[in-house]
Structure 1
Amino acid sequence: MFDEVIQLREYVHILKKRRWIILTVTFLTVVAITIWTFRQIPIYEATTRILIEKESPNLIAFEEVLKLDTSAQDYYQTQYMILMSRSLAKEVLKKLGLTDLQRPQVQMFFSVRGIFNELAEKLGLSTPAPSPESDETIDKEERLVNEFLQSITVSPIRGSRLVDIKAISTDRQQAAMLANTLADVYIERNLDDKLVASKDAVLWLEKEVEITQKKVADSEAALQQYKEEHGILSFEERQNIIMQKLLELNTAVNEAKIKRAAIEAQYKQVQKYQSDKVESLSVVINNPLIQGLKVELANLESELSQLRKKFRDKHPNMTALQSQIDATKSRLNTEIKRIFDSLKSDYEVALAQEKDLSKMLEEQKHEAMDLNKKAIRYGELQREVESNHRVYNELLQRTKETNVTERLQTNNIRIVDHAVVPNSPIAPKKIRNILLAMVVGLTMGIGLAFFFEFWDNSIKTSDDIKQYLDMPFLGFIPKVYGKEYSNNGNNGTRAKPDMIVAIDPKSSASEAYRTLRTNVVFSLVSDEERALDLDFGSVMLVTSPGPAEGKSCIVANLGIAMAQSGSKTLIIDCDLRKPVMHKIFNVNNDRGFADMMADIKTYGTKVVVKHTKIKNLDVIPCGKIPPNPSELLGSSLARIVIEALAERYDKILIDSPPVNTVTDPILLSRIADGIVFIVHAGQTKRDVAQRARDQLLSADAVILGGVINSVDLKKDSYYYYYSYYHSHYYTQDGKKQLNAAA
Structure 2
Amino acid sequence: MEQTNITKLISKYLKKWPLFAIGLVVCLAAVFLYLRYKAETQYEITSTLLVKNQDTGQGSVKSQNIKDLGLIKSNTNVEDEIGILRSTGLMEKVITDRSLNINYYIEGKVRDVEIYGEDVPIEILVDETATDLIYDLPIYIKFINDTEYELETTVKNESYKTQHTYGDLVTAPFGTFTINAKEASKYEDNGKPLYFTILDTDRVIGTFLQNLSIDLINLDGNLLSIRFLSINKKKGEDLVAGLIETYVEEMIKYENELAENTIKMIDNRLKLLSGEIEGVEKSVEKFKTSNDPTNVTDNAGLYIAQANDYKKLISDYQTEINVINSIEMYLQQGNPDTPIPASLSANDPSLTGMIDQYNETLLQKGQMAQSASSANPIIVNLDRTLNDLGKAIVENVRSAKNRLLIAQRNQQSNANKYQAQIAKVPSMERQLVDISRDKSTKEGLYLYLLQKREEEVLSLAAPVSSTRIVSLPKAGNFPVSPNKTAMYLGGLLIGLFLPFSLIYTKDLLNNKITSIENLSNLISAPILGEIARSKDGGLIATKGYSRTPSAELFRLLCFNLEYLKKTNKNQTLLITSTVQGEGKTFIASNLAITLASNGERVIVLSFDLRMPQLMKTFGLSDTPGLTDFIVQKDLTISDIIQKHSTIDNLSLIGAGTEVNQVGRLMLSERIELLINQLKKDFDRIIIDTPPIGVISDAFALNAYIDGTIYVVRKNVTKSEHAKTIESIHKNGKLRNTMVLLNDTNAAQTYGYGPKIND
Residue 417 of structure 1: CA displacement?
Answer: 0.3
- Partner residue of 1:164 out of 221, 225, 231: 225
Alignment of 1:262-661 (within 5 A): 413-420=467-474, 425-430=479-484, 432-482=486-536, 497-500=538-541, 503-525=544-566, 535-536=568-569, 538-565=571-598, 567-584=600-617, 589-599=622-632, 601-612=633-644, 614=647, 616-635=649-668, 637-639=670-672, 641-643=674-676, 645-646=678-679, 649-661=682-694
Task: Work out whether residues 217 and 225 of structure 2, in 8 Å CA contact, stay in contact via their aligned partners in 1.
Answer: yes
Q: Which residue identity does 1:724 align to in structure 2?
A: G
1:51 and 1:625, CA in 2 relative to 1: closer, same or farther beyond 3 A?
A: same
Residue 604 of structure 1: how far off its partner (Å): 3.4
Taking structure 1 as reference, are residues 683 and 521 closer, same or farther at Cα in structure 2, changes over 3 Å only? same
- Could you say what secondary structure the match of 1:438 adopts? helix
> In 1, distance between residues paired with 2:578 and 2:71?
89
Question: Structure 2 counterpart of 1:175, which letter?
Answer: G
1: CA distance between counterparts of 2:53 and 2:658? Answer: 102
Distance 1:140 1:710 in 2: 65
Equivalent residue number for residue 751 of structure 2? 724
Determine whether 1:20 maps to 2:18.
Answer: yes
Q: Which amino acid aligns with 1:680?
A: R
Q: 1:141 to 1:69 in 2, by over 3 A?
A: same
Q: Deviations over 1:485-513 (max 9, x none)?
A: xxxxxxxxxxx942537643444322211
Q: 1:703 to 1:84 in 2, by over 3 A?
A: farther
Partner secondary structure for residue 133 of structure 1: coil
Partner Cα distance (2:743, 2:688) in 1: 18
**Matched-pair identity in %:** 20
Match of 2:238 among 168, 171, 177: 177
Aligned mates of 1:145, 1:607 — CA distance in 2: 98
- 2:49 corresponds in structure 1 to 50
Quick one: structure 1 residues 404 and 435, their matched pair in 2 at CA, closer, same or farther if it must change by over 3 Å? Answer: farther
Once residues 683 and 660 of structure 1 are traced to their aligned partners in structure 2, the CA distance between those partners, rounded to angstroms, is 14
Deviation string for 1:632-670 (max 9, x for gaps)? 124454345435544654432110122333332343345
The one-letter code matched in structure 2 to 1:26 is L
2:46/2:475 contact within 8 Å kept: no
Which secondary structure state, in structure 2, belongs to the residue aligned with residue 552 of structure 1?
helix
| Aligned position for 1:708 | 741
Structure with higher strand content: 2
**Measured at CA, do residues 548 and 95 of structure 1 come closer, stay the same or move farther in structure 2, by a change above 3 Å?**
closer
**AA in 1 matched with 2:224:** V
For 2:703 and 2:253, locate their aligned partners in 1 and report how far apart those are by CA, in whole Å.
102
1:35 aligns with 2:33: yes
What is the CA-CA distance between 1:200 and the residue it aligns to? 9.2
SS of match in other structure, 1:450: helix
Q: TM-score, normalised by structure 1?
A: 0.54
Residue 248 of structure 1 aligns with which residue? none
1:597-654: CA deviation from partner (whole Å, max 9, x where unpaired): 213x312334434444655544332222222222212445434543554465443211
Partner residue of 1:91 out of 90, 93, 96: 93
Could you give the per-residue CA deviations for residues 316-374 of structure 1, whole angstroms, max 9, x where no partner exists?
xxxxxxxxxxxxxxxxxxxxxxxxxxxxxxxxxxxxxxxxxxxxxxxxxxxxxxxxxxx
Residues in 2 aligned to 1:450 and 1:158: alpha-carbon distance in whole angstroms = 50
2:528·2:560 contact (CA, 8 Å) conserved in 1? Answer: yes
Partner AA of 2:610 in structure 1: R
Give the deviation of 1:517 after TM superposition: 1.6
Aligned counterpart, 2:401: none
Please say if residues 597 and 638 of structure 1, whose CA atoms lie closer than 8 Å, have aligned partners that are also in contact: yes
Residue 415 of structure 1 deviates from its aligned partner by 1.4
Q: State the Cα RMSD in Å.
A: 4.8
Name the structure where helix makes up a greater proportion of residues.
Answer: 1
Does the CA contact (< 8 Å) of 1:666 and 1:696 recur in 2? no
Counterpart Cα distance in 2 of 1:446 and 1:414 = 56
Q: Which is higher, the Rg of structure 1 or of structure 2?
A: 2
User: For residues 178 and 701 of structure 1, do their structure 2 counterparts lie closer, same or farther at Cα, with a shift above 3 Å needed?
Assistant: same
Aligned residue for 1:682, secondary structure, equals: coil
The answer to whether the 8 A contact 2:212-2:228 is kept is: yes
Asked if 1 retains the 8 angstrom alpha-carbon contact of 2:707 and 2:735, the reply is yes
Deviation at 1:514, TM superposition (A): 1.9
Task: Provide the C-alpha distance between the structure 2 equivalents of 1:523 and 1:437, rounded to a whole number of angstroms.
Answer: 52
Shift of 1:536: 2.9
Cα displacement (A) at 1:578: 3.2
The DSSP-based 3-state class of the residue aligned with 2:734 is coil
Contact 1:589–1:621 at 8 Å: present in 2 too? Answer: yes
The residue number in structure 1 matching 2:247 is 186
- Aligned counterparts of 2:641 and 2:100: Cα–Cα separation in 1: 103
Question: What's the offset of the Cα at 1:685?
Answer: 3.5
Seen in structure 2, the aligned counterparts of structure 1 residues 186 and 669 have a Cα distance that, compared at 3 Å, is farther
Residues 140 and 615 (structure 1), Cα distance of their counterparts in 2 relative to 1, 3 Å cut: closer
- Residue 133 (1) aligns with residue 136 (2): yes
3-state SS, counterpart of residue 498 of structure 1: coil
Gaps of 5+ in 2: 57-62, 107-133, 138-155, 157-173, 176-197, 273-444, 754-758
- Partner of 2:136, secondary structure, is helix
Cα distance in 1, alignment partners of residues 668 and 550 from structure 2: 37
Task: Map 1:100-249; keep pairs closer than 5 Å.
Answer: 100=102, 133=136, 140-157=200-217, 161-190=222-251
Using the TM superposition, give the Cα deviation of residue 51 of structure 1 relative to its aligned residue in structure 2, in angstroms: 2.8
Deviations 1:520-567 (A, max 9, x none): 2332326xxxxxxxx335432101223333322221222233345555
8 Å contact 1:674–1:703 — kept in the other structure? yes
CA spacing shift, 1:692–1:705, aligned 2, 3 Å: closer
Q: TM-score under structure 2 normalisation?
A: 0.53
CA distance change for structure 1 residues 61 and 13 in 2, over 3 Å: closer, same or farther? Answer: farther
Letter paired with 1:17: K
Contact 2:230 2:236 in 1 (8 A): yes
> Which deviates more, 419-428 or 24-33?
419-428
